Amino acid sequence: AQSVTQLDSQVPVFEEAPVELRCNYSSSVSVYLFWYVQYPNQGLQLLLKYLSGSTLVESINGFEAEFNKSQTSFHLRKPSVHISDTAEYFCAVSAFRGKNFNKFYFGSGTKLNVKP
Protein backbone atom coordinates (compact mmCIF):
# COMPACT_ATOMS: atom_id res chain seq x y z
CA ALA A 1 0.00 0.00 0.00
CA GLN A 2 0.93 3.63 -0.27
CA SER A 3 1.13 6.27 2.45
CA VAL A 4 1.68 10.00 2.63
CA THR A 5 3.30 12.08 5.35
CA GLN A 6 2.87 15.80 5.69
CA LEU A 7 5.22 16.73 8.49
CA ASP A 8 3.87 20.21 9.16
CA SER A 9 0.32 20.49 10.44
CA GLN A 10 0.47 24.29 10.36
CA VAL A 11 2.66 26.76 8.52
CA PRO A 12 2.33 30.44 9.44
CA VAL A 13 3.92 32.85 7.00
CA PHE A 14 3.78 36.56 6.23
CA GLU A 15 2.32 37.85 3.00
CA GLU A 16 4.80 38.01 0.10
CA ALA A 17 7.18 35.59 1.84
CA PRO A 18 8.13 32.26 0.22
CA VAL A 19 6.69 29.03 1.54
CA GLU A 20 7.35 25.30 1.27
CA LEU A 21 4.87 22.63 2.34
CA ARG A 22 6.51 19.26 2.72
CA CYS A 23 5.18 15.94 1.50
CA ASN A 24 6.84 12.54 1.61
CA TYR A 25 5.33 9.30 0.39
CA SER A 26 6.07 5.61 0.54
CA SER A 27 5.20 3.09 -2.14
CA SER A 28 6.59 -0.10 -3.59
CA VAL A 29 5.28 0.77 -7.07
CA SER A 30 5.35 3.86 -9.25
CA VAL A 31 2.89 6.54 -8.24
CA TYR A 32 0.96 9.55 -9.35
CA LEU A 33 1.23 12.52 -6.99
CA PHE A 34 -1.17 15.36 -6.33
CA TRP A 35 -1.64 18.49 -4.28
CA TYR A 36 -5.14 19.58 -3.39
CA VAL A 37 -6.31 22.80 -1.70
CA GLN A 38 -9.34 23.12 0.55
CA TYR A 39 -10.77 26.52 1.42
CA PRO A 40 -13.05 26.79 4.46
CA ASN A 41 -16.36 24.96 4.07
CA GLN A 42 -15.54 23.85 0.55
CA GLY A 43 -14.54 20.67 -1.21
CA LEU A 44 -11.02 19.84 -2.33
CA GLN A 45 -9.71 21.36 -5.54
CA LEU A 46 -6.78 20.05 -7.53
CA LEU A 47 -3.81 22.39 -7.35
CA LEU A 48 -1.32 20.40 -9.42
CA LYS A 49 -0.37 16.86 -10.32
CA TYR A 50 2.56 14.74 -11.38
CA LEU A 51 1.71 11.83 -13.66
CA SER A 52 4.88 11.50 -15.75
CA GLY A 53 7.41 13.57 -17.67
CA SER A 54 8.97 16.69 -16.18
CA THR A 55 9.47 16.35 -12.44
CA LEU A 56 8.66 20.04 -11.90
CA VAL A 57 4.97 20.83 -12.19
CA GLU A 58 3.28 24.20 -11.85
CA SER A 59 -0.18 25.52 -11.08
CA ILE A 60 -1.85 28.54 -12.65
CA ASN A 61 -1.65 30.55 -9.41
CA GLY A 62 2.11 30.37 -8.87
CA PHE A 63 2.55 27.15 -6.90
CA GLU A 64 5.02 24.52 -8.03
CA ALA A 65 6.02 21.07 -6.82
CA GLU A 66 8.94 18.85 -7.67
CA PHE A 67 8.82 15.08 -7.75
CA ASN A 68 11.98 13.67 -6.21
CA LYS A 69 12.01 9.90 -6.60
CA SER A 70 15.20 9.29 -4.63
CA GLN A 71 13.87 11.21 -1.64
CA THR A 72 10.27 10.08 -2.21
CA SER A 73 9.13 13.66 -1.85
CA PHE A 74 6.74 16.03 -3.59
CA HIS A 75 7.15 19.34 -1.78
CA LEU A 76 4.95 22.29 -2.67
CA ARG A 77 6.48 25.75 -3.01
CA LYS A 78 5.43 29.28 -3.77
CA PRO A 79 7.94 32.17 -4.00
CA SER A 80 5.52 34.81 -2.72
CA VAL A 81 2.24 34.03 -0.96
CA HIS A 82 -0.95 36.07 -0.78
CA ILE A 83 -3.58 36.34 1.93
CA SER A 84 -5.91 34.43 -0.40
CA ASP A 85 -3.60 31.39 -0.25
CA THR A 86 -4.73 30.76 3.33
CA ALA A 87 -6.22 27.27 3.20
CA GLU A 88 -5.63 23.61 4.01
CA TYR A 89 -3.31 21.80 1.60
CA PHE A 90 -3.36 18.05 1.08
CA CYS A 91 -0.79 15.89 -0.63
CA ALA A 92 -2.10 12.67 -2.19
CA VAL A 93 -0.68 9.60 -3.86
CA SER A 94 -2.21 7.01 -6.15
CA ALA A 95 -0.54 3.83 -7.35
CA PHE A 96 0.37 3.65 -11.01
CA ARG A 97 -0.76 0.04 -11.20
CA GLY A 98 -1.49 -2.97 -9.06
CA LYS A 99 -4.21 -3.83 -6.59
CA ASN A 100 -4.22 -0.34 -5.05
CA PHE A 101 -4.57 1.38 -8.43
CA ASN A 102 -7.94 2.92 -7.64
CA LYS A 103 -7.05 4.09 -4.14
CA PHE A 104 -6.08 7.65 -3.34
CA TYR A 105 -4.19 8.11 -0.09
CA PHE A 106 -4.14 11.56 1.47
CA GLY A 107 -1.75 13.14 3.93
CA SER A 108 -3.08 14.67 7.12
CA GLY A 109 -3.05 18.17 5.63
CA THR A 110 -1.08 21.37 6.25
CA LYS A 111 -2.87 24.53 7.26
CA LEU A 112 -1.20 27.48 5.53
CA ASN A 113 -1.93 30.68 7.41
CA VAL A 114 -0.83 33.81 5.58
CA LYS A 115 -0.60 36.88 7.78
CA PRO A 116 -0.63 40.51 6.59
Partner 1 sequence: DTAVSQTPKYLVTQMGNDKSIKCEQNLGHDTMYWYKQDSKKFLKIMFSYNNKELIINETVPNRFSPKSPDKAHLNLHINSLELGDSAVYFCASRLLGGELFFGEGSRLTVL
Measured from the CB atom, the residue of 54 and 102 that comes closer to partner 1 is: 102
Question: 4: burial class by Cβ within 10 Å (0-12, 13-18, 19+)?
Answer: buried
Q: Does 108 engage in binding with partner 1 (CB under 8 A)?
A: yes
Determine, following the binding rule CB under 8 A, whether residue 45 of this chain makes contact with partner 1.
Answer: yes
Q: Of 109 and 114, which CB lies nearer to partner 1 in the complex structure? A: 109
Binding site for partner 1 (CB under 8 A): 32, 34, 36, 38, 41-46, 49, 51, 88, 90, 92, 102-106, 108-109, 111
